[in-house]
Chains A and B, each alone.
Chain A
Amino acid sequence: METKAQVAAIIAELKPMPGAMLPILHAIQDAVGYVPSDIVPLIADELNLSRAEVHGVISYYHHFRQHAPGKHVVQICRAEACQARGSVALEAHAKQTLGCDYHGTTTDKQFSLEAVYCLGQCASGPNIMIGDDLYARVSNDKFNRLLQTKRGV
């Protein structure tokens, strides 16, 4: 219920922007952590669109999540420059350590694993982002240490 009120306030505030859809979805995801499916009708009503159109936008973009993620979202860069610097091995290590694949969440709900295609740090890969924090030259050891410091925080 609290979420619904929060979302309604976000929509009311941003609705006047031209092309308000993406700003609204970003604001919702920033506030709630994902875009809950039960708010689709609300957005559709307010922006004068069909529910299918709204759902179509949410599902089109990789960035928007339709389910609650773990406490920390770990994104690993899968793009070429990071591959050339050993990201493929890091991906395998991360999946094994976390015990989940991409789009998965650890059983303790601490971490979700996502792929990302380039973080713009291509001269110093492999690169990852945890939440909004960037880390470069990530070895397996550094990865473990980062998880350790984020755990429980």
Chain B
Amino acid sequence: MNAIPVIPTVAAVTAITIYVPRDSTAIALGANQVADAIVAEAQERGIPVKLIRNGSRGMFWLEPLVEVATAEGRIGYGPVELEDIGALFDADFLNGGAHALALGLVDQIPYLKNQERLTFARVGITDPVSLDDYLAHEGYAGLQRALSMSPEAVVQEVFDSGLRGRGGAAFPTGIKWKTVANAQAGQKYIVCNADEGDSGTFSDRMVMEDDPFVLIEGMTIAALAVGATQGYIYVRSEYPHAIVALNEAIAVANARSYLGKDICGSGKTFYLEVRKGAGAYVCGEETALLESLEGKRGMVRAKPPLPALEGLFGKPTVINNVISLASVPIILARGGAFYKNYGIGRSYGTLPMQLAGNIKFGGLVEKAFGVTLRELLFDFGGGTASGRVIRAVQVGGPLGPYLPESLFDTKIDYESFSAVGGTVGHGGIVVFDDTVDMAKQARYAMEFCVAESCGKCTPCRIGSTRGVEVIDKIVARANDGEDQPRQVTLLRDLCDTMINGSLCAMGNMTPLPVLSALNNFPEDFGIEAVQEVAEH
């Protein structure tokens, strides 16, 4: 793995502090080489520097983003390439000198400044695996307060915050915790769903790589609240850097009594372990995930029983998404009412949204619910990376519908989105320009379902294969007036069967991208106009 090199720090009283991210996107764009080269160049020039591998601020078009600590604050330079380093030193960047890559004070960059970062408050700022850095930035304030409260009061605080699960289903977290807290059992579990399989989503990854302690703290608070003593973080195998960062942080937390026996001298116990997934999208579905953790094929279980009552190894289990759990520390530290003050309608708090695909300024934007899609796409995202017009946007992962321009003014909140047939899901926003072929995207949605179906229900398992074939026929017969309408009807029937005959969202939501492509972009299928509007 592009392992983070151990960088010798040239120790001296006057060492200048430099930050180069260890986030995997930054690494994929050359951050390790840049970090090495900066240290080497400083050594050569005899300048004492202290290099910190921070997380990413989430402005990925600027990665690798190098920051220098100055008296005024942290000044950024980016995106830095190896060949820029000599010139940066020549320009005295270590003292904030002027250079073409200079970005000024990083906190003042509008993309960052205009966000409302609660869950991501520390991300990009701290050294992800330094507990002292975490503590210096309000870390473990939530746990400290939780330790002074009764478990019931902790659950109530989370309930009062209005937090709803960020993994997709948006179920109130407080109610889930209450169910587990009230269950009678000798053993209970906290399971973190870190499978993050949706295309266009990376906020879970960023929390795990760039501020792992906030997840560990959130899970510890959950454990105290419901009476669990063992936790698992189920991380997808596609995230090796997240697994490394989590394990480093867990080791530190154990060594300093923030995990394990007698947490912070409270007499409470919580053990935490990382488990690696094995490349199955459906293992993000909570019951499939539990099966997988138990060592079986990750197939969806019928509910009831709810995992809250019979979850991992048949015991009461809190299973929550990474962002849901990582939002808990600030709720406990500042109070449920503080968190609830953000947002609109019944969507309280903030959502870390992810701008992905063909977008100029792709990255992470945490805002209170209520921001519109258009604001995200243009004010933050700056339109497409290709400079062409945005034609379609898929929100909420591979099971989310493709939205046309007419829906860009929709507010991002659970109710507004569902009113227009959209899904907020995990907050992933994938942008396509006008070169996209929407029939191909519809075909891909079915193909993805073929590859990832757990196989339990026929409509999902077989229907998706038939779906690919029917879409191929529609496109092939674009000029055949006779058969095409019949094939379109067949596709709609098939989608209807999948929606109504599938056990989980894999089967009953795959029709969303397919039908939205067909309804909003019929010309790509060689169809004149929308023939009928699908019922949901």
Q: Which residues in A have some Cβ–Cβ distance to B below 8 Å?
A: 18-23, 25-26, 47, 56-57, 60-64, 79-85, 116-125, 127, 129, 131-137
Closest Cβ of chain A to B381, distance in Å, is: 10
Is A64 a contact of B238 with CB atoms below 8 Å? no
CA distance A116 to B281 in the complex (A): 11
Contacts of B355 in A (CB 8 A): 123
Please determine whether B428 and A26 come into contact, CB atoms closer than 8 angstroms.
no
CA distance A64 to B428 in the complex (A): 28
B residues contacting A by CB (< 8 A) are 1-2, 24-25, 27-29, 60-61, 63, 196-202, 205, 237-241, 275-281, 292-298, 313, 354-359, 362-363, 385, 394, 398, 428, 430-433, 436, 441, 444, 448, 451-452
Which of chain B's residues has its CB closest to A127's CB? B28
CB-CB under 8 A from B436, the residues of chain A are: 84
Q: Which residues of chain B are within 8 angstroms of A129 by Cβ–Cβ distance?
A: 238
Question: Which residue among A20, A80, A135, A136 has the maximum number of chain B CB atoms within 10 Å of its CB?
Answer: A80
Q: Are A121 and B28 in contact (CB under 8 A)?
A: yes
A20 to B295, Cβ gap below 8 A?
A: yes
CA–CA, A63 and B241, complex, Å: 17
B29 touches A136 (CB 8 A): yes
Let me know if B276 and A26 touch, CB within 8 A: yes
Q: Please state if A61 and B358 are interface contacts (CB–CB under 8 Å).
A: no
| Contact A122 B24, CB 8 Å, known A23-B275, A117-B199 | no
The answer to whether B298 and A121 have CB atoms under 8 Å apart is no
Contact partners of B280 in chain A: CB under 8 A: 60-63
Task: Tell me, in angstroms, the Cα distance from A95 to B279 when the chains sit together.
Answer: 22
Q: Measured between C-beta atoms, what is the minimum distance from B429 to chain A in Å?
A: 9
**Residue of A at shortest CB range from B394?**
A80
- B199 contacts across to A, CB distance below 8 A: 79-82, 117-118, 122
Q: Which 3 A-B pairs have the closest CB atoms?
A: A123-B362, A21-B295, A132-B1
Can you identify 11 A-B contacts, CB atoms within 8 angstroms? Answer: A80-B199, A80-B357, A80-B394, A81-B428, A118-B199, A118-B238, A120-B25, A122-B202, A123-B202, A127-B28, A132-B1
Smallest CB–CB gap between A18 and chain B, Å?
7
A127 to B202 alpha-carbon distance, docked (Å): 13
Q: How far is the CB of B272 from chain A (nearest CB, A)?
A: 14
CB of B416, distance to nearest CB on chain A (Å): 23
Provide the bound-state CA to CA distance between A60 and B280, in Å.
Answer: 8
Q: How far is the CB of B394 from chain A (nearest CB, A)?
A: 6
Write the nearest CB–CB distance from A75 to chain B, whole angstroms.
8
Q: Are A22 and B276 in contact (CB under 8 A)?
A: yes
**Chain B: which residue is nearest A115 at the CB level?**
B451
With A124-B25, A132-B1 given, is the CB distance from A85 to B292 under 8 Å? no
Alpha-carbon distance A42/B441, docked complex (angstroms): 44
* CB pair A135 B28 closer than 8 Å: yes
Is the beta-carbon distance between A57 and B363 smaller than 8 angstroms? no
Return chain B residues, CB-CB under 8 Å to A81: 199-200, 356-357, 428, 430
Interfacial chain A residues near B278, Cβ < 8 Å: 22, 25-26, 61-64
Are A63 and B237 touching (Cβ within 8 A)?
yes
Verify A133–B2 contact, CB threshold 8 A. Answer: yes
Considering the complex, give the chain B residue whose CB is closest to the CB of A75. Answer: B238
Which residues of A lie under 8 Å from residue B431 when comparing CB positions?
A: 84
Q: Which of B25, B313, B433, B451 contacts A136 (CB 8 A)?
A: B25
